[in-house]
Structure 1
Amino acid sequence: MSTTPHPTPTVAPAPAHGLPLMLAMVIPAQLLAITGIIGGAVQPHIAQHFHTTEIAWFSLASALVTLVSVPFAMKFADIYGKRRVMLLLAVAGLAGDVVAALAPSYPVLLAGRMITGLYGPVVALIHAAVREYFPPRRIATAYGVVTGSIGVITLAGPPATGRLVDAHGWRGGMWLLAGLTAFAALMIWRMPETRRRGRFGADFDWAGGLLLGAGVALIVFGVGRGNGHGWTALQTCGPILAGLAALACFVPVELRAARPVVDVRMLSRRPVATVIAAAAFAQFAFVISPAILSFLAQFPHIPGVSDSFGWSTTHYALVGIPAGVATVAAGLAAGALLRRHPPRALWLAGTTVLICGLLLFSQFHGSAGEVIVSGVVTGLGGGTVMACGTAMIVSVITARHQASVNGMAYLLLQVVGGISYQVLFTVLSTHRSIVHGTAFYRDQAFTNGYYFLAALGAVGLLVSLFMPRMRRLADAADDPDDGR
């Protein structure tokens, strides 16, 4: 059975309403970054509260659901409109935040985090919607506001989170996240609807969506069990092999599908494949770096057991302010440069600086002063990398493929992130001590963790060298939907 699509008017807002709409998109676009900040602050407290060594699942639980839901969300957004799909996903994410905040046990908290994972596709949809909401001459400015806001979030988020967590414990941080998710849903509700393409019918690619979502989720799930069960155990290898088999079946299914949920032919194009791969590795290296610092800063200092500082959450946040300022400055500068220059050279410079910052962290993290200096360098590189990521995608595709490629890019980021997050905790666990069910880390663990993140950034830089020459953002946005 199929339904007739409803016609919709042109969705580009009047210029007078351009800036308010850009600002309304900031919190929905950056909610996962906010989740990373709040999650990084509360995870040490949650680990000690529930006496668990499996704190990595705090992030992996939501990532698994996101991986399954992204293919369907991107397709439904084309059929029913991005605003409608984003609003439903945001409301579902809010329900998950409430469950997590009220959780009486760690398994219940993980259940809430799994529901929260339904919000994940909103980030990819927001970035795809920018190109539909604004005329070509304002695309660069819109992306600068929406993506560059990561610096403001990085600057303002930790102090606010720190005060709440110090005053009300980890649940205070989780309720803050729930409130921000509710605000994001309100902002989405106030946005105009986007143009609808296609229709829902018998030819909908259910098989492709299920194979892709289940395949990547099984791989991440299997990797997540490696640290606890061993990397050669059936509990680890079984899901990984099943996931690889599902992905192997996914490719021929998509090539035959009349309306594929993901156009895998796009990945055969060098510009698309190299851009989304480079962004996945380099951006994740930056986004996850605060997780190491959170455990370094907030776990107690126990001679012979834990080499952490034992700072309060507020102190940890205040030490991070210079890095937040650097991230803001880099994001603003990158946004200004992207209006006049192609993103490739700026991306290469930002990725290089990011790697240098992570290597600095690996050697200099023994005091507040060293953390500040290393954090500033990392923030300069990270702010540039985050500002350039979406700009590179826009520069190599047309508007018709924006949502699809954004979905693929976000999906790959989640796959790289889910696997690398678990590997990171495996690296940390080689120098840990377990006391009363909580894993505490020695200094070498933090050093190795930053080495690992620098290696991820280096992979992104290496892939970047194979990216082709790119156009300016304004030139790419002016191109018609020519089917490229």
Structure 2
Amino acid sequence: MTPSSAHASPDGNGTPETSGRWTPRLAGVLLALTWPTQLVTAVVILGSNSLASVAQVFHTTQVVWFTLVVTLVYTLFTPFLFKLGDLYGRKRIMVAVTGLGVVGDSVAAMAGHYWLVLVGRALGAGYGVFPALAYPAIRDIFPAKLVKSASGLLASAGGLVALASPFLAAWLVDGWGYRGGLWFLASVSAVAFVLVVFLVPETPRHAFDSGFDWLGGLTLGGGLSALVYVLGRGDEWGWGSGETLSWITGGALALVAFVLVERSASYPILNLKVLRRRSVATVLLSASWGQAVAFSAPTISILLALYPHIPGVSDGLGWSVHHNAVITAPASVIVFLIGVYSSRLMRRVDARLLARCGLALMALGFLLMGSFHADETQLMWTMCVANLGGGTVVAAAPVMVVGAVTPDEHGQASGTLIMLLGLFSALFGALFFAVLDAHSTVMKGTAFYSDSGYTAALRLGGLLGLVALAIALFIPPLREPERDAAALPVPAAH
């Protein structure tokens, strides 16, 4: 039996657990994987709430880099890190990225110069890749009967993070400025490091190539990073400007070069034959597209809630951050609860069906939100509908990936999913702001948005959800993890 075909053992003695039942040890492994995976959500929320503090402390007009540098760095390095996980075992890479997270956030928190803050943020950005390592690790470690439910639980825990993070961000940033947020991230990254070191077992290798496709990784990561960067800055530069078109052209050419490189590479970083399979292509495209809508469209409702109400100028609701957190709390709880329920249900129900139902509900929720968002009650119930669907989509996505690929292909599939998710999130964010800007009034250098802009942007979110649903309808029947486990040789008794 090759190492790539064996399941790792949570008890570290080389004997796979096959009972299909939850044990305290498996619960500990899931906690150790969930903590740093959902730290990514906390990083985004805390980072967004720290921007004003950073700008005032360092008197910089380049505050956008405080969050953008994190996205760019993990997008660039994702192809390398998931391939290294296949080559040397995923636990080693998990330990490295969580350790760098502690160092990076500590450097950024202590920095006295803005450039050093950015260096720290770049060092810590590696934990953005953690989800691409965690989901394949579940398949390596858990009994086949628990792979679906564990994957769904890992994804749906983001609802609890989304519930707590706005309150936490308000407390930390209001009390200690951006440094409070960064010290908190350094602390929880340290906890993640300890959990991974002591609770996650070594995972098997899934690639035994002696070479590494550096050129393929650079063209893929560089091309995607260029596109993510320009999508984040295009609104500022102007979409028809020479700078914008140069970055788009450069990113597109890099991706074309990647395809050409991979065709002749001795040790390709991505197996394009795998990605061309109908099951893999449709799952990755619908899952990344649908999750990108679920994560990016709620930004519109946040702007609606927090922007002031100025008759004739701004049609925001004028809420405080704390009040908005209270109003959105039920929707965040729904994400977690529906994730837990879906995780249990997917042991008996086809994940494709749940994903399609989730995408339909999410699209309906954003379409309804576009028409009904005048007060707390309307925004609360429409957001609950959207999150009921979005939570189902997030829980079903990793389970569908499990059914689309073999264990040896899971690392590159999860890495590709993370890269596409980042790209689509940047694209949709740019589209939403383009719609809002078309219905805006600029006063003293600040753009304020009309109700027609919020309506159009939210309805666009619903339409994008329907596109993901249309793609999901073409997903063919998927394999069961139990089938892969049954095909494995039985380990010899010792």
Please give the TM-score of this superposition, normalised by the length of structure 2: 0.87
List aligned pairs for 1:278-357, cutoff 5 A. 278-357=286-365
Deviation string for 1:176-217 (max 9, x for gaps)? Answer: 33333332222222222211344574x311111111111111
**CA–CA distance in structure 1, aligned partners of residues 157 and 281 of structure 2:** 26
Residue 297 of structure 2 aligns to a residue in which SS? helix
Q: Which residue of 2 aligns with 1:407?
A: 415
Choose the corresponding residue for 2:194, options 181, 186, 194. Answer: 186
Work out whether 1:151 is the aligned partner of 2:159: yes
**CA–CA distance in structure 2, aligned partners of residues 318 and 260 of structure 1:** 48
Q: Which runs of 5+ in 1 are unaligned?
A: 1-5
Cα distance change on mapping 1:106 and 1:379 into 2, 3 Å:
farther
Work out whether 1:11 is the aligned partner of 2:16: no
Is the deviation greater in 214-223 or in 274-283? Answer: 214-223
Q: Which residue of 2 aligns with 1:3?
A: none
How many pairs are equivalent? 476
**CA–CA distance in structure 2, aligned partners of residues 444 and 475 of structure 1:** 51
Q: Which residue of 2 aligns with 1:464?
A: 472
List aligned pairs for 1:436-447, cutoff 5 A. 438-447=446-455
**CA–CA distance in structure 2, aligned partners of residues 193 and 340 of structure 1:** 30
Deviation string for 1:318-365 (max 9, x for gaps)? Answer: 111110222122112211110112201111000000111111222222
**CA–CA distance in structure 2, aligned partners of residues 147 and 314 of structure 1:** 26
**CA–CA distance in structure 2, aligned partners of residues 24 and 304 of structure 1:** 51
Work out whether 1:211 is the aligned partner of 2:219: yes
**CA–CA distance in structure 2, aligned partners of residues 145 and 429 of structure 1:** 38
Choose the corresponding residue for 2:88, options 39, 61, 80. Answer: 80
Work out whether 1:262 is the aligned partner of 2:270: yes
**CA–CA distance in structure 1, aligned partners of residues 156 and 253 of structure 2:** 39
Contact 1:76 1:85 in 2 (8 A): yes
**CA–CA distance in structure 1, aligned partners of residues 53 and 291 of structure 2:** 26
Shift in Å, 1:28: 1.4
Work out whether 1:394 is the aligned partner of 2:402: yes
Cα distance change on mapping 1:264 and 1:179 into 2, 3 Å:
same
**CA–CA distance in structure 2, aligned partners of residues 75 and 453 of structure 1:** 33
List aligned pairs for 1:44-59, cutoff 5 A. 59=67
Shift in Å, 1:92: 2.4
Q: Which residue of 2 aligns with 1:382?
A: 390
Q: Which residue of 2 aligns with 1:428?
A: 436
Percent identity reads 36
Cα distance change on mapping 1:271 and 1:251 into 2, 3 Å:
same
Contact 1:48 1:438 in 2 (8 A): no
Shift in Å, 1:43: 5.2
Residue 120 of structure 1 aligns to a residue in which SS? helix
Structure 2 residue identity aligned to 1:150: G
Q: Which residue of 2 aligns with 1:358?
A: 366
Choose the corresponding residue for 1:238, options 224, 243, 246. Answer: 246
Residue 289 of structure 2 aligns to a residue in which SS? helix
Q: Which residue of 1 aligns with 2:29?
A: 21
Choose the corresponding residue for 1:195, options 204, 215, 220. Answer: 204
**CA–CA distance in structure 2, aligned partners of residues 459 and 102 of structure 1:** 45
Contact 2:80 2:217 in 1 (8 A): yes
**CA–CA distance in structure 2, aligned partners of residues 7 and 329 of structure 1:** 35
**CA–CA distance in structure 2, aligned partners of residues 52 and 434 of structure 1:** 22
Q: Which residue of 1 aligns with 2:142?
A: 134
**CA–CA distance in structure 2, aligned partners of residues 312 and 49 of structure 1:** 22
Work out whether 1:451 is the aligned partner of 2:459: yes
Is the deviation greater in 362-371 or in 436-445? Answer: 436-445
Q: Once superposed, what is the RMSD of the aligned Cα atoms?
A: 3.0
Contact 1:44 1:298 in 2 (8 A): no
Contact 2:105 2:186 in 1 (8 A): yes
Q: Which residue of 2 aligns with 1:89?
A: 97
Structure 1 residue identity aligned to 2:348: R
Q: Which residue of 1 aligns with 2:228?
A: 220
Structure 1 residue identity aligned to 2:364: C
Structure 1 residue identity aligned to 2:334: A
Q: Which runs of 5+ in 2 are unaligned?
A: 12-16, 18-22, 490-494
Contact 1:394 1:477 in 2 (8 A): no
**CA–CA distance in structure 2, aligned partners of residues 94 and 278 of structure 1:** 34
Contact 2:45 2:165 in 1 (8 A): yes
Please give the TM-score of this superposition, normalised by the length of structure 1: 0.88
**CA–CA distance in structure 1, aligned partners of residues 70 and 375 of structure 2:** 33
**CA–CA distance in structure 2, aligned partners of residues 105 and 310 of structure 1:** 34
Cα distance change on mapping 1:98 and 1:445 into 2, 3 Å:
farther
